[in-house]
Structure 1
């Protein structure tokens, strides 16, 4: 078979369209079409990626026939030598060829590096959130009312410094994490689902460990603050610091394990990437555009109402900032968010009804 026929066969074995194979290899669909019509030939790095994807050798891909059982030629060549042994033991003869097929990977391969990206992305996001909480916790060690340094003018400065350091450290992880996610989705708009049932079971066990460990850490932190209140007459200073540091570790466990498990859903990743591509290409579904427009209008109205309640109410104009009206200006945003959710649900239900 030719390279063209081998590629078509391998693609059909995995139910991959030309477009999806192109996304996996980082080329255009037209490139795949040209390869399969022998109008062009892939470069060496793409040939190696195809071999990794389908689990075949370069010789088989370019010169061999991946649709035939492997080693048939060698079996035929050695038939004369082993004929007596095979005649004596038919089972031994059948074992040499039974189940030996072309080395096509039956399971999808992670040629895009999605698993490494998934772990790193979850680690950066979880670490960023935990770093911010930990910074606030460390800052509590220098609380003026119960500082570990005692009464010193440096307490407020050290508290501010610790909080700033935590925020900076958190942003130093959150921002690269978000950028890496965006870049990965741009470079790999489609990822073949290569996770096995064993992989999912292992990640589920890790998720349970993360949840149990996180809850335990937070409960221990609460116990420390309760003990400090009862025995020391207050939880300011180091008790709050311990509580927040334990909360940081618990939140890290929640976020890290939860994101690792949720990112196993490659179908959701592919759908989100496809939606992003359509949005950038101006091909977004009408109902999605309608949902975005309605939610945008609701958010704008909620913002205007909130600002008016804060700055333009009669009480605010009189300079009275302690009234219930100005004190509740923030309620406009939660109500706006609730209305956005109701509108999005209603539009989706209408869309489903029309598509029946």
Structure 2
């Protein structure tokens, strides 16, 4: 295909008219028309701008075949990954909201049985979302273990630019919760025991912090899962039937750690009635998973 044909193809893929592209390139519509009919050749700086905008290399733009190189998302990968990300974010938010609600029931002095029932309702809904979305995603991966890359350089760059803001937003929320906790603790002598018991005040402080974490955690998950979504090469490697034993073992250990954290939550809550601290197993589990990943990463190298 010629340069002009490639420019026309990429322009139409972006649903742009010749006038739209001309305005973007700061040239006349007639100039774009001449480019596409191969009666004029863009200057070097214009070619660089076009290749960056269309998400292709200069060689692909000038000498390649844009139509042959263009790959559609035939497997519905983007839709599946967005749906799976949303489900995991929602399930996490619901479970954390359950723990937060449990802490607030302590503040309000509700009956322990009712509080536990409310908490289990949140956990049940969150778990159901995890199970359904997990099974569906697993089926999708089995049916589509290998995806041909289709994201343009422009799409990847756009998310990479948004990613820091998402992570920074979650971090700020967690820090805000820590600050709120510190401020509240400074009033402990004025609140306890005149306004509420020490146990209720501690639960309120923990609830405020966990409320911030409840909002921040889905942001971290969204950022991480969406970041991984664009790394199709890693997706293909991860789901390769011949995946190395070390990788499979690492995944199994990580899953076991989080299962253990869930067991600890129920034991501390129902057996020892320590609902205020039972959620601590999850951040500890996250740290342990990080250590496991570092160890296996070092071994593989």
- TM-score (norm. length: structure 2): 0.57
1:126, 1:256 within 8 Å by CA — same for their partners in 2? Answer: yes
Distance across 2 between alignment mates of 1:96 and 1:206: 33
**1:246 alignment partner in structure 2:** 212
Q: Deviations over 1:20-51 (max 9, x none)?
A: xxxxxxxxxxxxxxxxxxxxxxxxxxxxxxxx
Q: Secondary structure at the match of 2:67?
A: coil
Distance across 1 between alignment mates of 2:168 and 2:297: 34
**1:132 alignment partner in structure 2:** 95
Q: Deviations over 1:116-168 (max 9, x none)?
A: 1111111111221222111000111111xx32xxx5xx431232123212211
Going from structure 1 to structure 2, the CA distance change for 1:103 and 1:225 (only over 3 Å counts) comes to: closer
Higher helix share: 2
The CA RMSD over aligned residues, in Å, is 3.7
Aligned-pair CA distance for 1:249: 0.6
Matches within 5 A, 1:187-198: 187-198=143-154
Out of 49, 70, 74, the residue aligned to residue 111 of structure 1 is 74
Distance across 2 between alignment mates of 1:178 and 1:207: 24
Out of 111, 116, 120, the residue aligned to residue 83 of structure 2 is 120
Structure 1 gaps, min length 5: 1-54, 56-90, 279-283, 300-333, 350-356
Q: Deviations over 1:334-354 (max 9, x none)?
A: 99x9799757854x45xxxxx
Going from structure 1 to structure 2, the CA distance change for 1:202 and 1:159 (only over 3 Å counts) comes to: farther
Aligned-pair CA distance for 1:259: 0.7
Is 2:125 the counterpart of 1:159? Answer: no
Going from structure 1 to structure 2, the CA distance change for 1:95 and 1:220 (only over 3 Å counts) comes to: closer
Is 2:223 the counterpart of 1:262? Answer: no
For structure 1, which segment, 230-239 or 214-223, has the greater mean C-alpha deviation from structure 2 after superposition? 230-239
Is 2:105 the counterpart of 1:142? Answer: yes
Distance across 2 between alignment mates of 1:92 and 1:207: 34
Structure 2 gaps, min length 5: 1-12, 14-30, 40-63, 193-197, 254-286
Going from structure 1 to structure 2, the CA distance change for 1:140 and 1:265 (only over 3 Å counts) comes to: same
Distance across 2 between alignment mates of 1:155 and 1:190: 52
1:139, 1:158 within 8 Å by CA — same for their partners in 2? Answer: no
- Runs of 4+ off more than 6 Å: 91-96, 337-341
Quick check: which has more Rg, 1 or 2? 1
**1:63 alignment partner in structure 2:** none
**1:206 alignment partner in structure 2:** 162
Out of 10, 33, 38, the residue aligned to residue 98 of structure 1 is 38
Going from structure 1 to structure 2, the CA distance change for 1:202 and 1:162 (only over 3 Å counts) comes to: farther
1:141, 1:237 within 8 Å by CA — same for their partners in 2? Answer: yes
